[in-house]
């Protein structure tokens, strides 16, 4: 079972979907399919930073596993932009099929310290919550070239597979690079869209910190 293409990275996957990186599946060592267990554990967290000229402002996105039972994960997500803050909780079943289809079993917005369940019809609420990090619309001008390389990640150097190529972004050509690694628990390491004419960063995402904390107590649900 592949580890980290959870629906939490919906905006990132929307841009990188055309790139068949890390296609192999992984399972926890020795686990039979009927007893599959996610490789995430309660307390695992990652912090991503989003910058670039096409974003309204830089964004920090922090994700933490609150609960893990088999393949079922409860994930707390906090997005901050200037003095704005959003927090939500998504419950997912960590399977390749659900990852491909961005399936969220339950979605809650955190309001006044309580979880408020959202309807999330057709992932509309999920897209709204992630909109600060949404990549610009566009697509590849040609199939990206994939190349393995050593990349410095939040936990040290890892072997990554990077896709590089040319991308059309809002009617302007850009240089594109996306790096991911199965040696990094959260898979996604970085993405860059650089204006081909000016060299200006249009959109950048990078993982800046990850690790494991002491698990937090569950948050109450609003009545």
- Please give the pLDDT value at position 97: 85
Structurally, the chain folds into a number of domains equal to 1
Residue 32 lies in a domain: no
Task: Give the DSSP letter string of 53-92.
Answer: TTSSS-EEEEEEEEEEETTEEEEEEEEEETTEEEEEEEEE
Q: How many whole angstroms separate alpha carbon 15 and alpha carbon 134?
A: 9
- Which residues does 17 contact at the CB level (< 8 Å), separation at least 6? none
- For 118, the token pair is 């959202």
- Residues paired with residue 164 on neighbouring β-strands, in sequence order: 145, 177
pLDDT for 101: 81
- pLDDT confidence of residue 35: 60
The per-residue DSSP string of 141-173 comes to SSPPEEEEEEEEETTEEEEEEEEEEEEEETTEE
Q: Which two tokens stand for residue 104?
A: 């969220």
Q: What is the pLDDT of residue 6?
A: 43
Q: Which CATH number fits the domain that encloses residue 137? A: 2.50.20
Residue 46 is assigned to a structural domain of this protein: yes
What is the span of the domain harbouring residue 167? 7-24+38-212
Q: Which two tokens stand for residue 34?
A: 């009927």
Q: How many CB atoms lie within 10 A of CB 86?
A: 18
Contacting residues for 126 by C-beta, under 8 A, at least 6 apart: 7, 10, 90, 102, 104, 107, 120
What is the spatial distance between Cα 22 and Cα 179, in angstroms, rounded to a whole number?
10
142-199 per-position pLDDT tens digit: 888 999 999 999 999 999 999 999 999 988 999 999 999 999 999 999 999 999 999 9
Structure-token pair, residue 177: 């690079």
Residue 78 lies in a domain: yes
Asked, for residue 2, whether it belongs to a domain, the answer is no
Let me know if residue 81 belongs to a domain: yes
In a domain, 121, yes or no: yes
Instruction: Kindly state whether residue 223 falls inside one of the protein's structural domains.
Output: no
Backbone angles phi, psi at 38, to 5 degrees: -65, 150
Q: What is the pLDDT of residue 203?
A: 95
In order along its 223 residues, the chain shows pLDDT tens digits of 334 444 344 444 444 444 444 433 344 444 445 568 899 999 999 999 999 999 999 999 999 999 999 999 999 999 999 999 999 999 999 988 887 788 999 999 999 989 999 999 999 999 999 999 988 888 888 888 999 999 999 999 999 999 999 999 988 999 999 999 999 999 999 999 999 999 999 999 999 999 999 988 777 676 6
**What one-character-per-residue DSSP string does 118-140 give?**
---GGGHHHHHHHGGGPPPSEEE
Q: Is residue 61 part of a domain?
A: yes
């Amino acid at each position: 079972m592949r580890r980290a293409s959870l629906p939490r990275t919906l905006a990132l996957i929307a841009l990188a979907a055309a790139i068949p990186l890390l296609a192999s599946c992984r399972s926890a060592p020795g686990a039979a399919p009927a007893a599959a267990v996610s490789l995430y554990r309660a307390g695992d967290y990652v912090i991503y930073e989003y910058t670039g000229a096409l974003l309204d402002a830089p964004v920090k996105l922090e994700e933490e596993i609150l609960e893990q039972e088999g393949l079922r994960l409860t994930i707390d997500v906090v997005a901050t932009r200037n003095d704005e803050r959003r927090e939500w909780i998504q419950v997912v079943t960590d399977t390749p099929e659900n990852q491909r289809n961005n399936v969220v079993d339950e979605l809650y917005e955190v309001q006044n310290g309580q979880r408020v369940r959202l309807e999330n019809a057709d992932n509309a609420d999920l897209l709204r919550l992630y909109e600060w990090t949404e990549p610009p619309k566009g697509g590849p001008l040609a199939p990206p070239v994939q190349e393995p390389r050593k990349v410095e990640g939040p936990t040290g150097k890892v072997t990554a597979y990077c896709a590089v190529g040319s991308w059309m972004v809002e009617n302007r050509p850009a240089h594109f690079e996306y790096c991911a690694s199965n040696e990094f628990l959260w898979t996604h390491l970085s993405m860059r869209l650089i204006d081909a004419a000016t060299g200006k960063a249009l959109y950048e995402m990078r993982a800046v910190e990850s690790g494991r904390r002491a698990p937090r107590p569950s948050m109450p649900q609003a009545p």
